């Protein structure tokens, strides 16, 4: 069942990319709220990279599945007091959006570990109260990340406003691609633009996503959180 959904999803991403004349993006399987068994099943089907939103929930799975050698991405909001644990557990943190977090992650990441891959999360629509830095802050954060040998800047991430009409999401994706191209002029090693989820991956790919984050289309609907 999962293996079938996985194959369909990979095929769909390939088709979307071909249709848009883009390279196929990498797939991040978003496993938040899913049990470790489901992650193991998808790993057996060939998936390597998994995304989690909550550090504590992820900790169980990362430790429990350590022997599988998977790649773990933190994609949820990261509080500074959880930064040390996140820096130890994850391979990527996609939600870096403030200098304090850069400092906390850089200090906590052991020099004996490979550098922690980081993405700068951008609040591309300027939604009030939403996580992510403003587009204008990207160069400052990129420079801060560049000063730490324990961190490696890989690119940008965004969760644009989920407008009902898909087409209304396009400007945000396009703005992210422009920001990404701009960043790459100063930092040519940057290679990742993480945007697009189950319902808008095709649009994100058409606008230049190199990584899409897919949960529902792979695992099915998530159980609703109790209120
Ligand atoms: C949950 C989540 C996703 C996956 O969303 P789906 O609609 O289930 O594909 C992607 N990115 C982030 C940041 C998420 O929190």
**C-beta 107 within 6 A of ligand 1:** no
When pLDDT is averaged across residues 186-212 and rounded to a whole number, the result is 97
What domain count does the chain have? 1
**C-beta 132 within 6 A of ligand 1:** no
Sign of CA dihedral 164, 175, 137, 113: positive
- Residue 225 confidence (pLDDT): 61
When pLDDT is averaged across residues 187-213 and rounded to a whole number, the result is 97
For residues 55 and 192, what is the distance between their CA atoms, to the nearest angstrom?
22
Residue 207 in domain? yes
20: CA distance to ligand 1 center in Å?
Answer: 22
Q: What would the two tokens of residue 155 be?
A: 């690119």
Residue 29 in domain? yes
- Residue 129 confidence (pLDDT): 87
* % of the chain beyond a pLDDT of 90: 95
**C-beta 215 within 6 A of ligand 1:** yes
**Which range among 39-48, 122-131, 171-180 shows the weakest confidence by mean pLDDT?**
122-131
Q: With contact defined as beta carbons under 8 Å apart, do 38 and 58 qualify?
A: no
- CATH assignment at residue 25: 3.20.20.10
Using alpha carbons only, how large is the chain's radius of gyration in Å?
17
Q: Give the range of the structural domain holding residue 78, as residue numbers without chain letter.
A: 2-219
Residue 226 in domain? no
Put simply, whether the predicted model's pTM sits higher than 0.95 gets the answer yes
For residues 25 and 94, what is the distance between their CA atoms, to the nearest angstrom?
16
Q: What would the two tokens of residue 3 be?
A: 């293996």
**C-beta 33 within 6 A of ligand 1:** no
For residues 176 and 186, what is the distance between their CA atoms, to the nearest angstrom?
16
- Residue 139 confidence (pLDDT): 97
Q: Each residue of 102-133: pLDDT tens digit? A: 999 999 999 999 999 999 999 999 999 899 99
- Residue 222 confidence (pLDDT): 86
Asked if residue 195 has pLDDT above 60, the reply is: yes
Atom of ligand 1 nearest to the CA of 30: 4
Residue with tokens 């004349």: 21
Atom of ligand 1 nearest to the CA of 94: 13
Q: Each residue of 8-20: pLDDT tens digit? A: 999 999 999 999 9
Residue 227 in domain? no
When pLDDT is averaged across residues 152-157 and rounded to a whole number, the result is 98
Asked if residue 226 has pLDDT above 60, the reply is: no
Atom of ligand 1 nearest to the CA of 159: 13
Residue 180 in domain? yes
């Amino acid at each position: 069942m999962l293996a079938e959904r996985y194959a369909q999803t990979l095929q769909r991403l390939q088709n979307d990319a071909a249709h848009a004349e883009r390279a196929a993006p990498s797939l991040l399987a978003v496993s938040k709220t899913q049990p470790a068994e489901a992650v193991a099943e998808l790993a057996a089907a060939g998936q390597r990279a998994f995304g989690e939103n909550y550090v504590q929930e992820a900790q169980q799975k990362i430790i429990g599945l350590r022997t599988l050698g998977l790649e773990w991405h933190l994609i949820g909001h990261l509080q500074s007091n959880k930064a040390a644990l996140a820096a130890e557990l994850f391979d990527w943190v996609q939600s870096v959006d403030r200098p304090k977090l850069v400092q906390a992650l850089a200090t906590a990441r052991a020099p004996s570990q490979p550098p922690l891959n980081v993405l700068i999360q951008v609040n591309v629509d300027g939604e009030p109260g939403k996580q992510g830095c403003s587009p204008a802050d990207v160069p400052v954060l990129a420079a801060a990340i560049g000063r730490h040998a324990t961190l490696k800047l890989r690119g940008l991430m965004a969760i644009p406003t989920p407008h009902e009409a898909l087409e209304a999401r396009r400007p945000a994706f396009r703005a992210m691609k422009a920001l990404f191209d701009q960043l790459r002029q100063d930092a040519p090693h940057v290679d990742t633009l993480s945007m697009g989820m189950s319902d808008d991956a095709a649009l994100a790919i058409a606008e230049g996503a190199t990584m899409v984050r897919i949960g529902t289309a792979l695992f099915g609907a998530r159980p609703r959180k109790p209120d």
